[in-house]
Structure 1
Amino acid sequence: MSEEQSSAAAGRPPRQSRTGNTSTGARKAASKSNRSRAREFALQALYQHLVGRNDATAIDMFTRDLAGFHKADTAHYDALLHGCITTEAELDALIVPKLDRQLAEISPIEHAVMWIGTYEFLHCPDVPWRVVLNECIELAKEFGGTDGHKYVNAVLNGLAPSLRSVEVAADKAAG
């Protein structure tokens, strides 16, 4: 029995596909940019670093063998993975004052997403701050806990005015 037939038999209309989204609401892989894919692979790699304290080179080699990696922006992935690991103390020092709990109580997914956002705020001026924020919220929605994206949003929104002050002020002035 097809999905349409089972929907009709159950008395409900067939599912409408949403452009760019899977049936669960996640973005379809085909609609993701190379940079979005790079962030996803970097997130997976940073998770391994946070949870297992695995060596960056070993994590990198493993991640590059994952299905779909060839579609990612490898330069951005490299910058995120190695940049976040190299500057993790600096990133945590910026993140911790924005937290309402101990860093150890933060999910490793949300922690890694906050690293990615903070790193991009600091080192990727070609990526608009609102894009960084939106991409990180989407990562947290897709890979994190139920309301983890709200926490990531609050922390990164709190950091943006100090890390991207001119850009944030210009956005607010523009309305």
Structure 2
Amino acid sequence: MKPAARRKARELALQGIYSWQMNGNTIESVELHLATTNDMSKIDLAFFQELLRDTAKKVVELDVAIKPYLGRLPEELDPIEKAILRLATLELTQRIDVPYKVVINEAIELAKSFGAEESHKFVNGVLDKAVKTLRRHELS
């Protein structure tokens, strides 16, 4: 798949994770809504589904993995920052085929597009610290 198809998959997965966090609907209903209200032809569908489903399924594990690098409690995070960090943490821990620099860059871009004015700096700082543990094999 082209990088643009993956980027769009991340954007859509982020929207789904955010929606799931905010409204409490099942991840299946969120996925169905996104799939029926968006043009899925230019999206890496399998990647989108994996990101969305696995983030929801492993949310507790992801929160535990990223918590030491936050500098505050996960409950205090802005919902969009929380969704971006969950998504990026999933990729860092589960998608070893995606280079960590790509994961961080994509998370920063998501924060610039969807987050508050300075949230990309926060996301970058958290992931820069987290990658030293979560992807230490890549840094050696």
TM bin (shorter chain): over 0.9
1:166 deviation in Å?
A: 1.5
- The structure whose residues are more often helix, as a share, is 2
1:56 deviation in Å?
A: 0.6
What corresponds to 1:64 in structure 2? 35
1:41, 1:69 within 8 Å by CA — same for their partners in 2?
Answer: no
State the identity as a percent. Answer: 37
Runs of 4+ in structure 1 over 6 Å off = none
What corresponds to 1:51 in structure 2? 22
Matches within 5 A, 1:117-128: 117-128=88-99
1:113 aligns with 2:88: no
What corresponds to 2:136 in structure 1? 165
1:158 deviation in Å?
A: 1.1
Could you give the per-residue CA deviations for residues 58-90 of structure 1, whole angstroms, max 9, x where no partner exists?
000001123333211011101100000000000
CA distance in 1, matches of 2:41, 2:24: 25
What corresponds to 1:85 in structure 2? 56
Number of aligned pairs? 139
Moved more, 83-92 or 59-68: 59-68
Normalising by the residue count of structure 2, what TM-score does the alignment of the two structures yield? 0.94
CA distance in 2, matches of 1:114, 1:69: 24
1:102 deviation in Å?
A: 2.0
What corresponds to 2:109 in structure 1? 138
Could you give the per-residue CA deviations for residues 136-167 of structure 1, whole angstroms, max 9, x where no partner exists?
00000000000011111111111111111121
Gaps of 5+ in 2: none
CA distance in 1, matches of 2:96, 2:20: 25
- Report the secondary structure of 1:65's partner residue: helix
CA distance in 1, matches of 2:40, 2:120: 24
Write the letter of the residue equivalent to 1:80. L
